[in-house]
Structure 1
Amino acid sequence: MRKTDKKIENQLRIGLTDVCNKALIDIHGFMWLTHTVNYANFPHSLQIVCVFDTNDNLQSYQGSAQSKSLESRIEIELINLGIKVKNITKHISFDTEQSCEAQHGGNWAIRLAKQ
């Protein structure tokens, strides 16, 4: 990883941690988020996964008035970091602890590698 990649990674980590901490307070069932990126194809390769506790809570969030709040928060944070993506929804996916447990025995490393 190049020095500039490390700098971007650190900024992403700090910015997304802030988004996560606020979402923990505001969004029922939200647990955490993470990201993956291939810096050889940045920012196009950036993928952010937002994880909820259960499938029911994720469905409730997606059907609620605040259903786009995570996307908006993440997009604003990326803009503040100077990272521009054309369509934020292509860079964000949703998952649940419940699904990971059922399909991958709770092993997030395997689950995220398959995305």
Structure 2
Amino acid sequence: MRCVVILHKPPEFSESTSEAIELAMSMANFGVGCAVWVTGDALQWVNGELPRHQLGRFDNTKLLKALPFYEIDEIWALADERPEAPLDEVAIQWLTRDELAARLASAELVIGE
């Protein structure tokens, strides 16, 4: 994996999308494949657990399902943070801390929001 984008917060209500996801998508225009690591409040956002007024102005599930078209082939989250009812529509790879550390160590670029 060449690039990892860390998404730790959902987009603000006034934003149309997340800066981290926009960055990963724009990197794909230059042929740089990325993974997105979701954690904290962003994981609740991905899983649809946040109240509607905190979800921003767009349907996050449609956006996240489209990520493979932008060379974002993997969405990671820590298995420790896995919710009781994870969202089935989004293919999240649930990793142990050691697995995540190994993937981050092998990335050429790690970008946090």
**Same fold by TM-score greater than 0.5:** no
Q: What is the TM-score of this pair, normalised by structure 2?
A: 0.32
Q: What is the TM-score of this pair, normalised by structure 1?
A: 0.32
- Whose strand fraction is larger, Structure 1's or Structure 2's? 2
Structure whose alpha-carbon radius of gyration is higher: 1
Q: Which is bigger in relative contact order (C-alpha 8 A, separation at least 6)?
A: 2
